Structure 1
């Protein structure tokens, strides 16, 4: 039986010359405990804890030619110099000892799947993309969103015609139906059922909704004029009382933008970034402003500016905000964090490539990033990125975690000659990530 471990070792020499790292199992990427780690020169050692983490406290001075030994019962031990570890991109493989039975070697090689599997669930009542959504207990609330449909008949006719005469015959006007939703759709995860509540909101898209203290706040985004020829930033905040189902209108919103990010934090709502203007030629004006809204007293306060103006998506974990990807003229790959307590920004690394509008959720220390046929996992502790394939042709969707499953809903379907909103909802079991091949990995 041959089982391979992969040790992602991220070391730094700090005060006291401590070497820190983490051990993970390659098969399931879970932390591996009780791995023996020690410095050969003075036998200073430690073992990894239940999280796979270790802290090797070294008394003597170390240099690049000093070696560290890694071992665990049943595996071939390995020894690497500090410089060699850096050459290996801080990745070390430990292979389990093979067992010979009557001269037959039994090797356990588990075949990994090519793509993440998923399950289709009950579809949305109305397909939308660039909508607002939030998870409250076991229910997903979806408000508004873009329902626009576009059919490029001219390009379709061109591809299907062999002559100019045939092209003229086949040519039709491009079909476009533009509309923003004003509906509230509620999904019960436990029962796989949808409900369309008889409530009317402002028709808006490219906005956010945030749940705080039994209220859902709908803010930002844009609306269409009556004739649907012009777009306007929506300056109104709608507040839905989940108990009474009443909607209250708030006329004060200093952070009017589209494609911004928003988070609940205690009794507050934090908003960051977005675009605030678009010229006729499509050129956008981006903002680096950040604000915090106290839902108790109704006051808005400024926060430190972002490091760069951009449209952006983010997620909050404890007291730290992670901004991932985004857009400023081109899709961005930067991962950065903002510590709410200290008010400091930090560069956490980069994605494999720029992602304009990723769908984000998290469970524990893992952030799940979905965009157009790919799911990326990002460990906020080890800063390791792993990329997986999934056969879902969706952009501008949302993703949520609930009881060991991920839920991907809505989004934009882009075919060769048309673009349309999706009403699909899918679930993914977290075990899929241990049974599916990693197509790309990176240690920031």
Structure 2
């Protein structure tokens, strides 16, 4: 078009365009969309086709795809085993600061398939056997301590600081303050 008039379509592809009186039937309109071939049509063509324009999909053929192995990739990651905690936990919050890993709380209860445990111990378990084992299944052991692992000395520190019993949470260090966010509490 001889002017910079533009518009966009709605979700159904319909559009409206305010045509100025000085536009002539040979004015060119341009329609484009990502993934389609841009189409230029005259205003007279648009009127003749009841203001409908169809764009063709733009297909780009690839010349070829090469799949190669990379022998330089390692199949195993190297790691250094650290000193274990006396009572291991999982689902704890942690952050790293000054070559130390700070860990708060956590769940010390191992995930156990109690049904499988009963079947392994008893050849023909009864409902009462499953029930007796199941009463221990719901007891969680969330921790309330802050544990600090010193990377340089490969040792743990346990400051005399008690936190709320918590697991499955996030912990952040900002402006010399520790923030504990979310998680589950257990009373």
- Normalising by the residue count of structure 2, what TM-score does the alignment of the two structures yield? 0.53
Are residue 204 (structure 1) and residue 162 (structure 2) matched?
no
Give, in angstroms, the shift of residue 179 of structure 1: 2.2
Partners of 1:143 and 1:122 lie apart in 2 by 17
Partners of 2:73 and 2:179 lie apart in 1 by 43
- Counterparts of residues 251-290 of structure 1 (less than 5 Å): none
Q: How many residues align?
A: 124
Residue of 69, 85, 93 corresponding to 1:124? 85
Instruction: Give the match for residue 318 of structure 1.
Output: none
Partners of 1:122 and 1:204 lie apart in 2 by 23
Larger radius of gyration: 2
Structure 2 stretches lacking a partner, 5+ long: 1-58
Partners of 1:157 and 1:206 lie apart in 2 by 28
Give, in angstroms, the shift of residue 208 of structure 1: 1.2
Give, in angstroms, the shift of residue 112 of structure 1: 6.9
Structure 1 stretches lacking a partner, 5+ long: 1-62, 65-81, 94-108, 226-444
Instruction: Give the match for residue 9 of structure 1.
Output: none
- Normalising by the residue count of structure 1, what TM-score does the alignment of the two structures yield? 0.24
- Counterparts of residues 12-411 of structure 1 (less than 5 Å): 83-85=62-64, 88=65, 114-149=75-110, 151-159=112-120, 162=123, 164=124, 167-168=125-126, 171=129, 173-174=132-133, 175-176=136-137, 177-225=139-187
Structure number with the higher strand fraction is 1
Give, in angstroms, the shift of residue 160 of structure 1: 5.6
Distance 1:113 1:126, change over 3 A: same
Instruction: Give the match for residue 332 of structure 1.
Output: none
Distance 1:140 1:155, change over 3 A: same
Partners of 2:122 and 2:106 lie apart in 1 by 36
Give, in angstroms, the shift of residue 157 of structure 1: 3.1
Distance 1:221 1:113, change over 3 A: closer
Distance 1:84 1:146, change over 3 A: same
Give, in angstroms, the shift of residue 190 of structure 1: 1.4
Partners of 2:85 and 2:121 lie apart in 1 by 34
The two structures, once aligned, show a CA RMSD in angstroms of: 3.4
Give, in angstroms, the shift of residue 83 of structure 1: 1.6
Distance 1:158 1:185, change over 3 A: same
Secondary structure class of the residue paired with 2:108: coil
Distance 1:114 1:161, change over 3 A: farther
Partners of 1:114 and 1:185 lie apart in 2 by 32
Give, in angstroms, the shift of residue 200 of structure 1: 0.7
Secondary structure class of the residue paired with 1:218: strand
Give, in angstroms, the shift of residue 220 of structure 1: 2.1
Assess if the C-alpha contact under 8 Å between 1:208 and 1:221 holds in 2: yes
